[in-house]
Structure 1
Amino acid sequence: MAAMRKSGFLPNLITRNALLSALEKGQQWQRALLELSEGLAQGGGSRSGVDIVSCNAAVAACEKGLQWQAALSLLRKAEELGLSPDAITYNSAISACEKCGRWEQGLELLAQMDRRKLPPDAYSFSAAISSCEKGKRWEMALQLLADMRRRELEPSVVGYSAAISSCEKSRQWEAALALLADMRQHGPLPEIISYNAAISACEKGTQWRWSLLLLALAREDKLQPDLITFGAAITACETGRKWKRALLLLEDLMDCGLQLSKVPCSSAINACEKSGAWEAALALIVQMNELSLRPDLFAYNAGLVACLQAGRWESALGLMAEMKSLEVAPDLVTCSFALTACEQGHRRALALELLEASNSLGWQKLKGASRVLVSVAECSGVVGY
């Protein structure tokens, strides 16, 4: 295009729209806006240098570039020029708002389509429902699904899954189950993303039995669970204090050929901690290290709690030593647990070392909330506490 201009040839609509389309696909929203501006300048600020195809490509480029304000500005500009924005224009603008979490603007655009006698299509509704998901507007998402049915539009898997996810984010597990049941009965058939959202909704609603049932139903529907599926189900077991089921799910995950990761392992460790299964928690930490997964601070803290609840102060101090050797930085919670272990084992000298080492963490801030720090400090003769 630059070579054409240097040669004295001005691009026509066909070449400009081809360039804008390429810029959109390449996510070059800034260049797309520049090219559109040049088209307007070529037409003397009128519509002669661009058409609705030009605007649609530029709006889509802004959508891909997460520039919702620019997308809305272009939509208004197209209206000012009398270019008659179509469903493609609006859908790209709604999608831009959805991707940027601007659910109110997305819904307003959907309403505008109706006011301008431009019937929204399934894509319009799916994008609006997805924006409701990000805005945690689950009731509005359900209303939009119902509106689609009234208009005899078939909701997509993406739209349904977004509605289920909006229920999950608002802890509306029963509504999520109802949507999934509707998909299984009337279509479209749910995919694994639909089940993942529903399982996560049940997990947040402390419904571990439903989470495991949905995992079984997904397999019944010939769907392959992924890491998100197992992660949500294991977290549900953590919430329900079902550590044995959590461990079985970890084995199931690996049997499916999936790569074990930190998140499900940490959830399983938490399940063990909440159930007092300290040996299983320690075994999982060992397994994570063997698999080079490097347990994080939260996993170690859960292991420390499990050991302390079982009175295994030696094991707790062993975990602290392991954290130090692996350079896992402790926090105030870790230090508090370690001091509890020292108190249980009457290891006052070690407690004093921990107190001195944790000065940079501001352990003194815990003095009003931690009986342990006061007890150990007094027993150790710490001055100034």
Structure 2
Amino acid sequence: MKILVVGGGGREHALVWKIAQSPLVDKVYCAPGNPGIAGLAECVAIAADDIDGLLAFAREMAIELTVVGPEVPLTLGIVDRFQAAGLEIFGPSQAAARIEGSKGFSKDLMAKYGIPTAAYRSFTDRDAAVAYIREQGAPIVVKADGLAAGKGVIVAMTEEQAVAAVNEIMVDAVFGSAGASVVIEEFMEGEEASFFAFTDGKNILPLASSQDHKRVFDNDEGPNTGGMGAYSPAPVVTEALTAEVLDTIVRPTIEGMAAEGCPYSGILYVGLMIAGGKARVVEFNARFGDPEAQPLLMRMKSDIVPVLQSIARGKLTQGSLEWHDKAAVCVVMASGGYPGSFEKGYEIKGLEDAAKIDDLMVFHAGTTLKDARIVNHGGRVLGVTGLGASVAEAIEKAYLGVQAIGWEKVHFRKDIGRRALHR
């Protein structure tokens, strides 16, 4: 079969890498793709948010399954458009993608269906938001309502930081229209983890556990990013906690979405805060996490294509997934200055050396070709992902890869996976 993967980041490289291994697949296309993906699939110069262009291409090439990587095309309604044209596509509808596209929608859903999360209020008025901050005190969390590439969440340790965040989002409009409304939440103590589940809107198929590292600097310091590294499995997510999350969070969410008239199909990402053996929801995403997809897909033993296809058809019957016993760790190599401004166009050296390391994959994210050389082009540039018999061995393997690669002003965290070692 012919498959089209939409997107051009590290998550999409991992998806293409996994999909291309399926005996069911003859050809993989990726739009727009990147230089790393080009070694596995035919890259097509169509932007991920060009729904008309993607639909025309899928029709012309008789694509049998389209897999959507990033959130933006989902919130623009790519799934609805493809389904209306009679094409099979994996991902939630535009209405269901609001679970990520609007923090206010997702919080209201959780409140209505008794899903554990932080106390919150939504605001469209700046002064009312500031008054609420003064009333509640700090620490407190300020979130832009809409999509902000993983950067629209500010954990404010003082009231002044919280007020400054509101001003940046609502007055300075640093996230554009995504900040027309803000959600202000209670600060939750605990350890974060990422929980993923495939669903066709009724049936649920959980994935292995993983943990992301959101902050840009070591020891979880500095501003939030799209993610600086991830590992799987995450020891903090025990078997008992997995059962509890499925029972108290995932199933009520899927049932609640159906009751709201926007059944959820695709992969549901649940960002968890775990304290005292109990989990509460930090956020939902309507797609695979990035960088969690990289270690998860490297550990996945099962063929992913039948799962994606069955969900696209609304008939998920598979009861479990097989996983490799090995642990996986992904270290994100970023452009210096990320998540703020950074310089592009530096040649990336050492990719060929890293490719010779066993049990290591270098997933491309923000790379492009310039004069036949691979250069940095985005904030998060590479996801260097290693396998090992334990998390400790996988950390060692990933950093072996990181040490082989370099470019001017490269930045990466040196403590990815450390929390797992403490357990």
The structure with the largest helix share of the pair is 1
Question: Could you say which structure has the larger radius of gyration?
Answer: 1
Q: Name whichever structure is richer in strand by fraction.
A: 2
TM-score in same-fold range (> 0.5): no
